[in-house]
Structure 1
């Protein structure tokens, strides 16, 4: 079943509404004032027609000009007062809605950034973006156009009916004789529009997904000369989007004229029956005029209530999706309290077992030690488990069995952010945000000075090319660093790791995507950086790790060999085969 249909066929879920309104508590005073304004508007609604009735019967009919002027002044004052109250109600409901969705969006984003990477491995990014943007934006309509407006409409109906029955119950029943027709047509319209809205949302989701995916992969589209075929696919998706919207427009185009005809029938019956009453002196002209206005005021909320209800239902669906995401507790536990201020950098893996899906182990009984200041290299074929080891060290994932210790203490005992601050990571796939070079290095940490940034950049050798950029360290690298070369992006990510002065450095294929000149520059910087620091290096190029204190050879999640470059070559085993294959020495 499509997500967009979740709960869409159900009545309003008051449990979700109750939970949604927990976010209103910080603004409870303004919420109560909004309710007061809603009730007050409901009371004010029938006041103007009633004053018109009194004006016609008591002043116009009797020729009382002085009384007529007084009533006109009173009605103008009432109109101004009602406009002020309506403005206050509309603004306050919008203000409340925007503040609530601001709080929900912050809470949801804070929740997302603390979830395990395993969650993001399994969840499409587009779905998470929809939750944080579109679904939350829908909630604002629940406050500004949904629930508060529905309550106001219902109260207005109650007060109008009350004063109509109090004025003339027979005339009221005549006016309401067409109400069943309007209720039936409103129900049919509500159901049809609900289905149409679901189709529109599906069409929008398909359109967004197609555009996002194909803009991201535009180079593939052009490389394989697929512009024409992809254009035809887009036209068909766009046509479906148009058809879905036109279907909803059709229902509106049919419903509103039907509602107008039903309202006109009610007014016609009123005039027919009221005229007879006037002629027999049972009904006054002022009552008929007032009832005509009452009918217009009564039928308008009923026409609108279908839209209000659909808005409320869409808000309930969005709320349900958001709360399901907030209820996901798949996050890394952060129960550790130990500080890392005096970390030396000893790392120890003891019989570590790990599986991404809790079924197939990608690491099996991994055990090794790295002394502070040592450099250890991990080598092996793709899928051997090298990247998994560094992911576990930083607690991006938690192990299934065994233990990982830093300075002899289990990493679970460390406060999570403190642990990660002491592990500098340079990944193979460099991600840069659409921001300045400096902010991509510090990631918004204002405690890092510009001098420290430039010092780290100079150490790596990146300062030279950064200074040549149009705005230097303030140059905007654009989305994913598209304005920089692969090597330049790699150097910036290296500076990013350096600037935090970590005790442990992890290099995951750090030089695999750069040219020889840039690689030599990085290798020179690495030698300076590794001094008095623990380093764990992952590399396919064996030439970059021959000086490592220890090389660990992995295969299918198991350690096959350990030793220095010379010791492993002497074994004539896995490492020797890797070395021969890389240097094309296999006969």
Structure 2
């Protein structure tokens, strides 16, 4: 079982926070609700005073009865009234606490979602959607438990101090006996802290793995069914689910051990106070009522500690969840800008000088790459898989940051530009565009939320009505499912191109926009692309002969290096790497 947690590795951006720092972050979220906190504190004081008054009054009634003075009716009525009012105050405090926790969890989820959205493409490439989603939703909910426990324990702290002070006032020796037992009880509870935190962190990680597995399985369900691999998908899930079961069982065994140990220690301390208090009562140092009060106070003193221990699993899970959420919020961006110069428009001149890029240790793509793309030039990038074509596009689009060298746009260091405004001027059309849940028009206008219906219609016109109507037999008001279910790859590419026409970027990066369409539709899209290529810089990862022919230049990449650069006819006549690619991949695309 010791190897069980070894497989639950932390994500590369996880951090370890101390309890003090975690609680400090929690209190930071509470500072804006000072009024509610003060109101809750006032209710805590009032409830504690009334709760402490009840055993004090009962002890006086006991002493009156023992002295033969009879039962004090007023004191009895006071006990009833105090209990009712204390209950009302406690209910009001719980209501305020619930609102506070709800507000904090809401703000934390907003911060976590904002942090996830702000992360670069490199972050999301390394981390599965399911794991990130688990932090934004599940871990923020788990965080609420530590909030509730923290506020409840703080509310009982005043009562503990008040009752402890009264016991010392009654008899110092009896107070010292109780005080001596507290470190033993607290020390035992704290001894479980490290192992409990480890178990809680493993629980959150295994839940993230379960979420990631389910999310990936559902995304790829059509592929699994197409190849008849449903049982394989289930076996993968069953393996992760069995791991989750084992982790939760171990966590339960750890946590169920805490409460019995603490209850045993509390029972031993109560027995000591019962015996010693009885001796003091016989000797006349304590009245029967004071003896009763000491026992009641002892029970109330143990309650906050044993309650915290009984909910230790929730407390540690809450801290582990908070740690995971804060790690997401605090994780560093992969793309780092050195300035925020405004970008109102771009000519589109791109230059790389000694560019070095690696996805990680041992996965270097570029080693001192030099490249110059003139403004308003259309450049096709070709080469075998793994040559660096897509990586070059991602680096120019600032999806990834390079490690060494320079990348200049219009003579300015790309790292000195305001990233948000720069990305507005750069349009990227991936080979497999994503479709959001909504109407077709809303999907086209995704890059320009301020666009009206007429703007969307003009974007469609620029692609070509004949091409659009033949390939998209649907209205702009028809709804599409999330992920593009029911929409072909070619239709997704048409939607992505319409988005691009509507956005009007200065630099366009295309990952072969006609790879998924039929030859007739391709011809229409190529005509539309010729209009899109006008007056802007275009970098296209080309797999189609028609796209290559339209380019001003062709870059042939191999293992992160540009091995050939020139026009179509020029490269074809050299009998070099491009000629080999042409004979292998493109020659068969020539019309008969």
Normalised by the length of structure 1, the TM-score is 0.81
2:503 counterpart residue number: 500
* Change beyond 3 A, Cα 1:167–1:3: farther
Aligned to 1:540, what secondary structure does the other structure show? coil
Are the equivalent residues in 1 in contact too, given 2:509–2:538 (CA < 8 A)? yes
For 1:332, the equivalent position in structure 2 comes to 336
* 1:388 corresponds to 2:391: yes
SS at match of 1:473: coil
The reply on whether 1:367 has 2:371 as its aligned counterpart is yes
* Counterpart residue number, 1:49: 55
Match of 2:349 among 347, 350, 358: 347
For the residues of structure 2 that align with 1:409 and 1:193, how far apart are their CA atoms?
52
TM-score, with structure 2 as normaliser:
0.80
* Pairwise CA distance, 1:17: 3.2
How many angstroms does 1:117 deviate by? 3.5
Q: 1:299 aligns with which of 293, 298, 302?
A: 302
Among 383, 404, 408, which residue is 2:408 paired with? 404
Distance, in Å, in 1 between the alignment partners of 2:60 and 2:93 is 28
Say if 1:395 and 1:189 are closer, same or farther in 2 by CA, change over 3 A. Answer: closer
Structure 1 pair 362/285, CA: closer, same or farther in 2 (3 Å)? same
8 Å CA contact retained: 2:368, 2:405: no
Alignment partner of 1:128 is 2:132: yes
Residue pair 2:382, 2:389 contacting (<8 A) in 1 also: yes
Instruction: Answer whether contact 1:54 1:286 (CA < 8 A) is retained.
Output: yes
Which residue is equivalent to 1:21?
A: 27
For 1:495 and 1:5, the matched residues in 2 are separated by 38
Q: In 2 relative to 1, CA 251–572 (structure 1 residues): closer, same or farther, beyond 3 Å?
A: closer
| Offset, 1:539 | 1.0
Deviation at 1:182, TM superposition (A): 6.2
Q: Is the 8 A contact 1:508 1:537 kept in 2?
A: yes
In the alignment, the residues of structure 1 paired with residue 374 and residue 33 of structure 2 have an alpha-carbon distance, to the nearest angstrom, of 54
Aligned residue in 1 for 2:155: 152
Q: Offset at 1:82? A: 1.9
- Structure 1 contact 458–464 (Cα < 8 Å) conserved: no
Query: Which of 337, 356, 359 is the aligned partner of 2:358?
Result: 356
Q: Which runs of 5 or more residues in structure 2 are unaligned?
A: 1-5
Aligned to 1:433: 436
Q: Which residue of 2 aligns with 1:207?
A: 210
Deviation at 1:234, TM superposition (A): 4.1
Contact map agreement 1:51 1:71 (CA 8 A) in 2: yes
CA distance in 2, matches of 1:448, 1:466: 23
1:232-251 Cα deviation digits (max 9, x unpaired): 55445444434444455456
Q: Deviations over 1:441-485 (max 9, x none)?
A: 33375322232123213433586489855x84351422x222311
Which residue, 141, 147, 150 being the options, matches 2:145? 141
Superposed CA offset, 1:500-551 (max 9, x none): 1223332212111233243233223223333444433221112333133333
- 5 Å-filtered alignment, 1:157-176, equals 157-167=160-170
Please give the secondary structure, in 1, of the residue aligned with 2:530: helix
Contact 1:424 1:498 in 2 (8 A): no
Q: Is the 8 A contact 1:204 1:241 kept in 2?
A: yes
Give the Cα–Cα distance (whole angstroms) in 2 for the partners of residues 191 and 519 of structure 1: 62
After the TM superposition, which of the residue ranges 447-456 and 524-533 deviates more from structure 2?
524-533
The separation in 1 between residues aligned to 2:240 and 2:397, in whole angstroms, is 43
Report the counterpart of residue 3 of structure 2 in structure 1. none
Name the SS of the counterpart of 1:150 in structure 2: helix
**Equivalent residue, structure 1, for 2:516:** 513
Q: Distance in 2 between matches of 1:375 and 1:565?
A: 12
Aligned residues between the structures? 575
Does the alignment pair 1:570 with 2:573? yes
The farther-off stretch of 301-310 and 494-503 is 301-310
Stretch moving more, 420-429 or 196-205: 196-205
Matched residues in 1 for 2:314 and 2:54: separation?
Answer: 29
SS at match of 2:427: strand
Deviation per CA, 1:83-135, whole angstroms, max 9, x where unpaired? 33323332333433343344444444444444444444444544433443333
CA RMSD in angstroms, aligned pairs only: 4.2
Unaligned runs of 5+ in 1: none
Residue 525 of structure 1, aligned match among 515, 522, 528: 528
Partner of 1:97: 101
* Structure 1 CA distance for aligned equivalents of residues 48 and 327 of structure 2: 36
| SS of 2:356 mapped into structure 1 | strand
Deviation digits for residues 402-436 of structure 1 (CA, Å, limit 9, x no counterpart): 44333x55545543333322222211122233444
CA 1:433–1:59 in 2, change beyond 3 Å: closer, same or farther?
farther
